[in-house]
Amino acid sequence: MTLIGNRVYLAWGVGDDGILQILDRKKLLPPSLGGTWTGDPDRPTEADLLAPQTGILYMSPDQGGHTSMPVFGLTPASYAKFTEFKTRDIVLLASEATADKCQEAPHWSFVRRRDRREFENRAAGNESPAKSHGRDR
């Protein structure tokens, strides 16, 4: 888990069926901890669980989410001559193999070149279904 500003970046599903989930920290916490969530902690509804989600990315089935780390304001040298979009925000996402003696398929790390708004739009359903399920690589 990585906390940057008001966002929490979570990697789920070590080994396979990984997910990168981005949550709004304020919507996740109760008022006593500076948040806005007022649901029942013993019986959260599906809406309670989805309300803080600002973005989600489903990884390929053979990869799991182990570690995530956003990097904001990256300015690649190869973009120097561009007239726009010179700065990029990326999320590093690592999977992890769990079998003994390296007998399973290799697990990789991924660099997702995304704008923060794109991740947030995903949660609101503003991208195509194929993209919302991680198949836009």
Q: What is the DSSP string of 22-39?
A: EEEHHHHS-GGGT----S
DSSP state of 59: P
DSSP state of 101: G
Query: Using one digit for the tens of pLDDT, what is the confidence trace for 45-100?
Result: 999 989 999 888 898 888 888 889 888 888 989 989 999 888 888 888 988 777 77
pLDDT at 96: 79
Strand-pairing partners, residue 67, are 94
Task: Tokens for 80, please give them.
Answer: 């120097």
Report the percent of the chain where pLDDT is more than 70: 79
Strand-pairing partners, residue 108, are none
**Rounded CA Rg of the chain:** 17
Residue type, 95: S
| Predicted structure pTM score | 0.70
Task: Tokens for 104, please give them.
Answer: 């399973």
pLDDT at 15: 79
pLDDT at 113: 65
Cα(106)–Cα(16) distance, integer angstroms: 11
Residue with token string 């089935």: 61
Task: Tokens for 5, please give them.
Answer: 């500003």
